[in-house]
Amino acid sequence: MNRCLIKCLTFCGIIASLSVSALLAETKPLNVLFIAVDDLRPELKSYGTNEMLTPNIDCLATKGVKFNNAFCQYPVCNPSRASFMTGLRPDELGIVSNDIALRHKWPDIVTLPQLFRNNGYFTAGIGKLFHAGVEENNKKVFFRDDASFDHFYTARGIVPLIGKDGVGRRLGDGTVRWATWLAAEGGDEAQMDGLVAAEAVKVLEKHHDKPFFISVGFHKPHDPFVAPKEYFEHYPLEDIQLANDPEDRTPLLEYAIPDMYNFPSFTDKDRREFKRAYQACTTFTDTQIGKLFKVMDRLKLWDNTIVIMIGDHGYHLGEHGWWNKVTVFDLGARAPMMMWVPGEREMGQATNSVVELLDLYPTLIDYCELEAPHALSGASLRTVLEAPAKEILKPAYTQVSRGQLMGRSVRTDQWRYTEWDFGREGIELYAHPQDKKEYHNLADKPDLKGIQQTLKALLESKFPQD
């Protein structure tokens, strides 16, 4: 065999080898890194809060697609997480409080990570993904979902004692236990989220060479507002900007704000310390997320890993006089959400399309070519991710209970419409984007009755009256 022929065969062999490698790369399943942050509203620089220090989350918002109008289905931890982890609405699940564990009510339902596990993916649940615990017989019961995860990790009960020391206080008159802040000693890994990040880094390093669905749940900025003291230093108390409700706002309806917490009035000092602590906790969590992204960089995982980051619902920081969640105002229902998808050409943009957190389940199985295990109530966001600048017109639905009474709300690109007890206890109508914080209820305007009827029909299509 002459040298030219040998060279030709060798070259063809190399090309064939490269082609096979390229084909394998193209057909290799996409990984998923799913990050959920507890009680995080869009209090981020990437969403226009310029005083915030959130460089890692902002980097993902710039790299992927940032959703400006993503809404939860219930503004409380357990119902929201049960919804987006199953792709079903709280009404459909019958989970509208923190008192019912998903597996206790639906032992055989296939969750989002479980579906990936059933299809050969390594799955990990690190930190808070499902609700941390429910009340049973007056005792909090913590549970883990072994059907969903090959590997599960919680930092509860192993936080070093030094992380409980520091400077802080209980806000208001001191009677509300959750309204507490602490600038803690001990650094990142003296707190649960620091330990969660460290575990997530280990798991990524160990399992990155096989298809994975790794979900990481960070606890902060959920109360109590505890973070290492160095994160408080980014936010001088005198620089904290407080919400300023307009004097001409519409009086609140009876059920718009819950009375379950009944906390005492805050002084200006209380309000500034509350918001400062929330922001410090947010920056602390952002730093932990950055540790995951550094591993993604080092292991070159961005090319074959979908990355999602969400807050599980919104949060009030003094707007409407409220300092918590549990409302169907945009402030309670709207959550930050951003998504990186390898290979999508329109990454690096923002979209104003209205979307729901329960859309994540159908979106991920669409990209990863998996079949839905049950009928899903959301819709794949692939068309939005393929063309973020094109606004997709679809409504988002959020509900919240007040005892036995339910508030149900629909959000479109231009309106939020809410009914309390099917309208028997009040109706709210807010115009967007003119009234972003929904201070002016237009439900009594005669010239808007047609719009109100259209929105009512949308609401009834998802929540038919018995």
* pLDDT for residue 141 is more than 60: no
Average pLDDT over residues 94-109: 92
Closest-CA residue to 88 (of 106, 100, 104): 106
142-168 pLDDT per residue, tens: 567 899 999 999 998 899 999 999 999
**pLDDT greater than 60 at residue 20:** no
Query: What single-letter amino acid sits at 290?
Result: G
191 phi and psi angles, rounded to 5 deg: -130, 155
- pLDDT of 136 over the 70 cut: no
Which pLDDT score, from 0 to 100, does residue 15 have?
Answer: 41
pLDDT digits (tens, 9 = 90+) for 225-255: 999 999 999 999 999 999 999 999 999 999 9
Arithmetic mean of pLDDT over the chain: 92
277's enclosing H/E stretch is: helix 268-298
Residue 234 CA to residue 49 CA, distance in Å, equals 14
| Token reading at 155 | 């930092």
Q: According to the model, what pLDDT value does residue 455 have? A: 98
354-399 pLDDT, tens digit per residue, is: 999 999 999 999 999 999 999 999 999 999 999 999 989 999 999 9
pLDDT at 466 > cutoff 90: no
Residue 421: other Cβ atoms inside 10 A: 15
pTM of the model: 0.92
What pLDDT sits at residue 2?
46
pLDDT tens digit string along 275-312? 999 999 999 999 999 999 999 999 999 999 999 999 99
Tell me which architecture the domain covering 28-386 has in CATH. 3-Layer(aba) Sandwich (3.40)
Of the chain, the percentage scoring pLDDT greater than 70 comes to 91
> What is the predicted pLDDT for the residue at 213?
98
Q: Name the percent of the chain in helix, strand, coil, to the closest 5.
A: 35, 20, 45
231: DSSP letter: H
Q: Is the pLDDT of residue 45 over 60?
A: yes
Reported as a single tens digit per residue, the pLDDT across 317-349 is: 999 999 999 999 999 999 999 999 999 999 999
What is the pLDDT at residue 10? 45
Give how far Cα 410 sits from Cα of 54, 55, 245, 433, 463, Å.
30, 32, 23, 15, 10
377-388 core/surface letters (b: 16 or more CB in 10 A; e: else): bbbbbeebbebb
Residue 99 pLDDT: 86
Starting at the edge strand found earlier in the chain, the sheet holding 305-311 runs 151-153, 122-127, 212-218, 31-37, 305-311, 334-340, 65-71, 349-356
- Residue 261: what pLDDT? 63
What pLDDT score does 1 carry?
Answer: 45
| pLDDT one-digit tens code per residue, 170-187 | 999 998 889 999 999 999
For 339-397, give the DSSP string: EE-TT-TT-SEEEEEEEEGGGHHHHHHHHTT---SS--SS---HHHHH-TTSPP---EE
State the average pLDDT over residues 437-459: 97
